[in-house]
């Protein structure tokens, strides 16, 4: 049985879903000869670790309890030591403990840090973990989009296969936000922009503050990861990003309540006019990233109705990849673009790939 020790950082929706996947797939992984041993779980304030990280992990009953506690909005610190089977550290102690585990388990065991947080504060720990020979799996995009740090759909795997085969990728255009994909496809049918955004919020597609999605920065981070994968030496500031709301409606200028009650509806006319102009030319509007050589920009584009992106409906992600072999008809990658379950499943698949790195 090949054992992969894990430290999970972040117990939000994706982190909890990942724990549930790990627990529910025990018998499947056993048939594959793999044991995922969760030796530590962190939230923003605490870390809980197994009493002996060398020989045991947190048991499944305790992992399930972690999910219950975090679902209620509580901190891991309320769990207690559970009869000596685990230890709990808080604040600065927790950072030191995580690094200490990495320094002892490190290079030979395949200790893997799984970052399911949405924080840039994990970057320092992740850098130390890499220096100590640990593996990293990220659902959190921020560490990969900080100034030149390091290099749901199987996009990166697909691109790596093209590049490894000597097929250079020269252009990518994609709808990389399930939220904005939904919004753009719905306004196409004549619904007011404000109504569609409100519906998306009610469906759970948007962040609590929809401006976190409408600003386009989440798409920009994904685009930056892909551009760097293709060799572009870009930082986030190098990407031109079109926000779907003006600066005067930003979170630092307008409250969420005012934005939802009045600010959002004031954007309807402008979006509706753009939809009509596109439609008159047989096109539709999509919020996309465009990576063309070393250039990258994010925003609304007019695209043909009969193109893969033009046919996009709902919250799916769609990526068109143009290379030497796919010059006239692009390689199209499409699938679910929103949901904790989909993201967690992708993270779990990446964790299992790590076993091939160790004998």
pLDDT tens digits for range 297-319: 999 999 999 999 999 888 788 99
Predicted pLDDT at 86: 73
pLDDT, mean of residues 266-282: 96
Q: Is the pLDDT of residue 214 over 70?
A: yes
Q: Is the pLDDT of residue 337 over 80?
A: no
Q: Is the pLDDT of residue 257 over 60?
A: yes
Active site residue 253: no
| Cα(141)–Cα(136) distance, integer angstroms | 12
| Cα(345)–Cα(18) distance, integer angstroms | 7
Predicted pLDDT at 115: 92
pLDDT, mean of residues 337-358: 75
H helix runs in the chain, sequence order? 13-24, 26-31, 60-71, 91-109, 123-131, 142-145, 155-164, 178-187, 193-202, 211-214, 217-229, 256-258, 268-280, 340-353
Predicted pLDDT at 324: 94
What are the tokens at 317?
Answer: 């992600």
Predicted pLDDT at 330: 94
Task: Provide the CA 120 distance to its chain's centre, in angstroms.
Answer: 13
Q: Is the pLDDT of residue 201 over 60?
A: yes
**pLDDT band (50, 70, 90) for residue 151:** very low
What are the tokens at 134?
Answer: 């640990």
Average pLDDT, the chain: 87
pTM of the model as a whole: 0.70
Q: What percent of the chain has pLDDT over 70?
A: 92
Q: What is the pLDDT of residues 21-40, one digit of tens each?
A: 999 999 999 999 999 999 99
Predicted pLDDT at 46: 86
pLDDT, mean of residues 175-186: 92
* Active-site entry in 222, 276, 281, 305: 222
**pLDDT band (50, 70, 90) for residue 150:** very low
**pLDDT band (50, 70, 90) for residue 183:** very high
Q: Is the pLDDT of residue 106 over 70?
A: no
Lowest-pLDDT range, 73-77, 130-134, 182-186, 286-290? Answer: 130-134
pLDDT, mean of residues 81-108: 68
CATH numbers and ranges of domains, the chain: 2-149+341-357 (3.40.50.720), 155-337 (3.30.360.10)
Q: What percent of the chain has pLDDT over 90?
A: 53
What are the tokens at 345?
Answer: 């499943």
pLDDT, mean of residues 212-220: 93
Owner of token pair 């409250």: 255
Predicted pLDDT at 326: 95
What is the sign of the dihedral through the CA atoms of 230, 231, 235 and 238? negative
Predicted pLDDT at 193: 97
Cα of first residue to Cα of last residue in the chain, in angstroms, is 11
Predicted pLDDT at 148: 42
Predicted pLDDT at 357: 66
């Amino acid at each position: 049985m090949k054992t992969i020790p894990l430290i999970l950082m972040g117990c939000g929706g994706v982190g909890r879903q990942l724990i549930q996947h790990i627990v529910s797939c025990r018998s499947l992984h056993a048939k594959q000869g793999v044991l995922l041993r969760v030796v530590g779980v962190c939230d923003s304030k605490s870390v809980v670790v197994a009493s002996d990280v060398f020989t045991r992990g947190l048991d499944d009953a305790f992992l399930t309890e972690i999910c219950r506690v975090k679902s209620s909005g509580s901190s891991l610190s309320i769990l207690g030591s559970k009869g000596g089977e685990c230890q709990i550290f808080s604040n600065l102690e927790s950072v030191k403990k995580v690094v200490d585990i990495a320094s002892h388990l490190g290079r030979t065991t395949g200790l893997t840090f799984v970052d399911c947080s949405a924080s840039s504060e994990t970057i320092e720990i992740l850098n130390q973990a890499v220096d100590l020979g640990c593996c990293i799996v990220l659902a959190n995009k921020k560490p990969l989009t900080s100034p030149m740090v390091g290099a749901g759909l199987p996009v990166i795997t697909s691109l790596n296969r093209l590049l490894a085969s000597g097929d250079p990728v020269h252009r990518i255009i994609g709808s990389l936000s399930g939220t904005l994909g939904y919004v753009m496809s719905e306004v196409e049918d004549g619904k007011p922009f404000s109504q569609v955004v409100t519906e998306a919020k009610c469906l759970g597609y948007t962040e609590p503050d929809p401006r976190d999605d409408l600003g386009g920065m989440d798409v920009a981070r994904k685009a930056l990861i892909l551009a760097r994968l293709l060799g572009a030496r870009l930082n986030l500031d190098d990407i031109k990003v079109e926000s779907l709301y003006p600066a005067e409606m930003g979170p630092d200028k307008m409250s969420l309540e005012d934005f939802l009650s009045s600010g959002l509806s004031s954007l309807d006319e402008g979006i509706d006019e753009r939809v009509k102009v596109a439609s008159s030319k047989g096109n539709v509007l999509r919020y996309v990233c465009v990576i063309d050589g070393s250039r990258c920009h994010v925003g609304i584009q007019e695209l043909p109705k009969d193109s893969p992106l033009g046919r996009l409906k709902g919250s799916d992600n769609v990526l068109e990849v143009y290379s030497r072999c796919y010059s006239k008809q692009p390689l199209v990658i499409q699938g679910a673009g929103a949901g904790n379950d989909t993201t967690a499943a992708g993270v779990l698949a990446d964790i299992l790939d790590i076993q091939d790195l160790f004998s």
